[in-house]
A = this chain, B = another copy of it.
Amino acid sequence: MSLALRQHIEKMIALTDAEFDVVLSKFSVKKLKKHQFLVQEGSTVLHDYWVVKGLLKAYHTDEDGKVHILQFAMEDWWISDYQSLVYHIPASINIDCIEDSELLVISAEDRELLCNEMKGMANFFRKKSHAGYVALQQRILFLLNKNPQERYNRFLKLNPKLLQRLPKTLLAAYIGVSRETLSRLSHP
Protein backbone atom coordinates (compact mmCIF):
# COMPACT_ATOMS: atom_id res chain seq x y z
CA MET A 1 0.00 0.00 0.00
CA SER A 2 2.83 2.38 0.89
CA LEU A 3 4.67 1.31 -2.27
CA ALA A 4 1.59 2.18 -4.36
CA LEU A 5 1.43 5.63 -2.76
CA ARG A 6 5.12 6.22 -3.38
CA GLN A 7 4.76 5.20 -7.03
CA HIS A 8 1.73 7.49 -7.33
CA ILE A 9 3.65 10.49 -5.95
CA GLU A 10 6.83 9.72 -7.88
CA LYS A 11 4.95 9.90 -11.17
CA MET A 12 5.12 13.66 -10.56
CA ILE A 13 8.06 14.39 -8.24
CA ALA A 14 11.12 12.64 -6.81
CA LEU A 15 11.35 11.78 -3.10
CA THR A 16 14.20 10.43 -0.97
CA ASP A 17 13.44 7.50 1.37
CA ALA A 18 13.56 9.86 4.34
CA GLU A 19 11.18 12.31 2.68
CA PHE A 20 8.74 9.56 1.80
CA ASP A 21 8.80 8.32 5.40
CA VAL A 22 7.70 11.80 6.52
CA VAL A 23 4.94 11.83 3.90
CA LEU A 24 3.74 8.34 4.77
CA SER A 25 3.65 9.16 8.49
CA LYS A 26 0.84 11.65 7.77
CA PHE A 27 -1.45 9.03 6.20
CA SER A 28 -3.67 6.47 7.88
CA VAL A 29 -5.72 3.63 6.44
CA LYS A 30 -9.52 3.56 6.23
CA LYS A 31 -11.57 0.58 5.11
CA LEU A 32 -15.20 0.86 4.10
CA LYS A 33 -17.79 -1.65 2.95
CA LYS A 34 -19.99 -1.25 -0.13
CA HIS A 35 -22.76 1.32 0.53
CA GLN A 36 -20.93 2.87 3.51
CA PHE A 37 -20.56 6.64 3.55
CA LEU A 38 -17.21 8.42 3.45
CA VAL A 39 -18.72 11.94 3.49
CA GLN A 40 -22.27 12.94 4.37
CA GLU A 41 -23.93 16.16 3.24
CA GLY A 42 -23.90 18.72 6.06
CA SER A 43 -20.84 17.34 7.84
CA THR A 44 -17.53 19.21 7.98
CA VAL A 45 -14.84 17.51 5.93
CA LEU A 46 -11.33 17.51 7.39
CA HIS A 47 -9.59 14.91 5.21
CA ASP A 48 -8.55 14.12 1.68
CA TYR A 49 -8.70 10.51 0.49
CA TRP A 50 -6.61 8.49 -1.95
CA VAL A 51 -8.16 5.27 -3.24
CA VAL A 52 -5.92 2.23 -2.77
CA LYS A 53 -8.63 -0.21 -3.82
CA GLY A 54 -12.32 0.08 -4.58
CA LEU A 55 -14.77 2.44 -6.20
CA LEU A 56 -16.71 5.42 -4.79
CA LYS A 57 -19.11 8.05 -6.00
CA ALA A 58 -19.56 11.71 -5.03
CA TYR A 59 -23.10 12.96 -5.60
CA HIS A 60 -25.76 15.44 -4.73
CA THR A 61 -29.42 14.59 -4.23
CA ASP A 62 -31.76 17.39 -5.35
CA GLU A 63 -35.07 18.41 -3.78
CA ASP A 64 -36.96 15.96 -5.99
CA GLY A 65 -34.75 13.11 -4.79
CA LYS A 66 -32.87 12.89 -8.06
CA VAL A 67 -29.22 11.83 -7.77
CA HIS A 68 -26.62 13.95 -9.63
CA ILE A 69 -23.18 12.36 -9.82
CA LEU A 70 -20.24 14.73 -9.50
CA GLN A 71 -17.47 12.18 -9.87
CA PHE A 72 -16.41 8.60 -9.45
CA ALA A 73 -13.09 7.57 -7.89
CA MET A 74 -11.26 4.28 -8.29
CA GLU A 75 -7.67 3.08 -7.64
CA ASP A 76 -5.13 5.94 -7.77
CA TRP A 77 -7.74 8.74 -7.67
CA TRP A 78 -8.27 11.34 -4.95
CA ILE A 79 -11.71 12.14 -3.60
CA SER A 80 -13.20 14.47 -0.98
CA ASP A 81 -15.59 17.41 -0.73
CA TYR A 82 -12.98 20.02 -1.59
CA GLN A 83 -15.34 22.93 -1.06
CA SER A 84 -15.86 21.83 2.53
CA LEU A 85 -12.15 21.07 2.93
CA VAL A 86 -10.87 24.38 1.52
CA TYR A 87 -13.49 26.78 2.89
CA HIS A 88 -14.40 24.99 6.14
CA ILE A 89 -18.11 24.91 5.35
CA PRO A 90 -20.52 21.94 5.61
CA ALA A 91 -20.29 19.35 2.81
CA SER A 92 -22.69 19.91 -0.07
CA ILE A 93 -22.26 16.37 -1.40
CA ASN A 94 -22.34 12.76 -0.27
CA ILE A 95 -19.58 10.27 -0.99
CA ASP A 96 -20.25 6.55 -0.62
CA CYS A 97 -18.79 3.23 -1.75
CA ILE A 98 -19.93 1.41 -4.88
CA GLU A 99 -17.51 -1.40 -3.95
CA ASP A 100 -15.68 -2.32 -0.71
CA SER A 101 -12.92 0.29 -0.55
CA GLU A 102 -9.53 0.86 1.04
CA LEU A 103 -8.36 4.44 1.35
CA LEU A 104 -5.28 6.32 2.50
CA VAL A 105 -6.36 9.34 4.52
CA ILE A 106 -4.56 12.63 5.14
CA SER A 107 -5.92 15.61 7.07
CA ALA A 108 -6.03 19.01 5.36
CA GLU A 109 -3.84 20.26 8.19
CA ASP A 110 -1.14 17.65 7.60
CA ARG A 111 -1.29 18.27 3.87
CA GLU A 112 -0.61 21.98 4.44
CA LEU A 113 2.22 21.02 6.77
CA LEU A 114 3.82 18.76 4.15
CA CYS A 115 3.43 21.45 1.48
CA ASN A 116 5.02 24.07 3.70
CA GLU A 117 7.92 21.80 4.65
CA MET A 118 8.59 20.13 1.29
CA LYS A 119 8.59 22.01 -2.02
CA GLY A 120 8.23 18.68 -3.81
CA MET A 121 4.95 17.90 -2.07
CA ALA A 122 3.65 21.44 -2.76
CA ASN A 123 4.36 20.77 -6.42
CA PHE A 124 2.86 17.28 -6.27
CA PHE A 125 -0.45 18.54 -4.89
CA ARG A 126 -0.32 21.54 -7.26
CA LYS A 127 0.03 19.25 -10.27
CA LYS A 128 -2.67 16.86 -9.04
CA SER A 129 -4.98 19.80 -8.51
CA HIS A 130 -4.25 21.11 -12.03
CA ALA A 131 -5.04 17.69 -13.47
CA GLY A 132 -8.25 17.58 -11.44
CA TYR A 133 -9.17 21.03 -12.69
CA VAL A 134 -8.71 19.93 -16.29
CA ALA A 135 -10.81 16.80 -15.70
CA LEU A 136 -13.62 18.95 -14.28
CA GLN A 137 -13.46 21.32 -17.27
CA GLN A 138 -13.89 18.29 -19.50
CA ARG A 139 -16.79 17.14 -17.35
CA ILE A 140 -18.43 20.55 -17.83
CA LEU A 141 -18.01 20.49 -21.61
CA PHE A 142 -19.41 16.96 -21.43
CA LEU A 143 -22.48 18.17 -19.52
CA LEU A 144 -23.01 21.10 -21.88
CA ASN A 145 -23.07 18.71 -24.82
CA LYS A 146 -26.70 17.69 -25.07
CA ASN A 147 -26.24 14.66 -27.33
CA PRO A 148 -26.52 11.49 -25.17
CA GLN A 149 -24.73 9.29 -27.71
CA GLU A 150 -21.72 11.64 -27.79
CA ARG A 151 -21.68 11.81 -24.01
CA TYR A 152 -21.73 8.03 -23.84
CA ASN A 153 -18.94 7.67 -26.44
CA ARG A 154 -16.81 10.18 -24.59
CA PHE A 155 -17.27 8.44 -21.25
CA LEU A 156 -16.37 5.13 -22.88
CA LYS A 157 -13.24 6.62 -24.42
CA LEU A 158 -12.04 8.28 -21.21
CA ASN A 159 -13.02 5.56 -18.74
CA PRO A 160 -13.02 2.11 -20.39
CA LYS A 161 -12.04 0.32 -17.15
CA LEU A 162 -14.51 2.21 -15.02
CA LEU A 163 -17.38 1.39 -17.38
CA GLN A 164 -17.08 -2.34 -16.69
CA ARG A 165 -17.40 -1.82 -12.94
CA LEU A 166 -20.31 0.62 -12.89
CA PRO A 167 -23.95 -0.35 -12.39
CA LYS A 168 -25.90 0.92 -15.42
CA THR A 169 -28.12 3.09 -13.21
CA LEU A 170 -25.10 5.05 -11.98
CA LEU A 171 -23.68 5.39 -15.47
CA ALA A 172 -27.04 6.80 -16.61
CA ALA A 173 -27.03 9.29 -13.69
CA TYR A 174 -23.48 10.39 -14.55
CA ILE A 175 -24.20 10.84 -18.23
CA GLY A 176 -27.45 12.58 -17.32
CA VAL A 177 -29.90 10.34 -19.22
CA SER A 178 -32.63 7.95 -18.12
CA ARG A 179 -31.85 4.26 -17.68
CA GLU A 180 -34.08 3.58 -20.71
CA THR A 181 -32.22 6.04 -22.93
CA LEU A 182 -28.90 4.52 -21.86
CA SER A 183 -29.93 1.06 -23.00
CA ARG A 184 -30.63 2.48 -26.47
CA LEU A 185 -27.17 4.01 -26.79
CA SER A 186 -24.85 1.92 -28.91
CA HIS A 187 -21.15 1.19 -28.62
CA PRO A 188 -19.26 3.29 -31.15
Contacts and interface: CB of A to CB of B under 8 A. Distances in A.
B133 A68 contact: no
Contacts of A22: none
Interface stretch (A3-11, A141-149, A164-172): A141-149
Contact of A141 (B60, B82, B133, B138): B60
A62 B86 CA distance: 34
A126 B115 CA distance: 9
A132 interface: yes
A38 B60 CA distance: 35
A81 to B, nearest CB: 8
Given A126-B125, A126-B129, A129-B130, A144 B86 contact: no
Nearest to A143: B143
Interface residues of A, number: 33
Interface stretch (A23-31, A94-102, A116-124, A155-163): A116-124
A131 interface: yes
A130 B60 contact: no
Given A60-B141, A116-B119, A126-B126, 19 more contacts: A62-B144, A68-B141, A70-B140, A70-B144, A82-B130, A82-B137, A83-B134, A83-B137, A83-B138, A86-B130, A86-B134, A87-B134, A129-B130, A132-B133, A136-B140, A139-B140, A143-B143, A143-B144, A144-B176
Interface of A: 60, 62, 68, 70, 82-83, 86-87, 92-93, 115-116, 119, 122-123, 125-126, 129-134, 136-141, 143-145, 176
Ordered nearest first, which 10 A-B pairs have the shortest CB separation? A68-B144, A126-B126, A122-B122, A129-B129, A136-B136, A119-B119, A83-B134, A143-B143, A122-B123, A133-B133
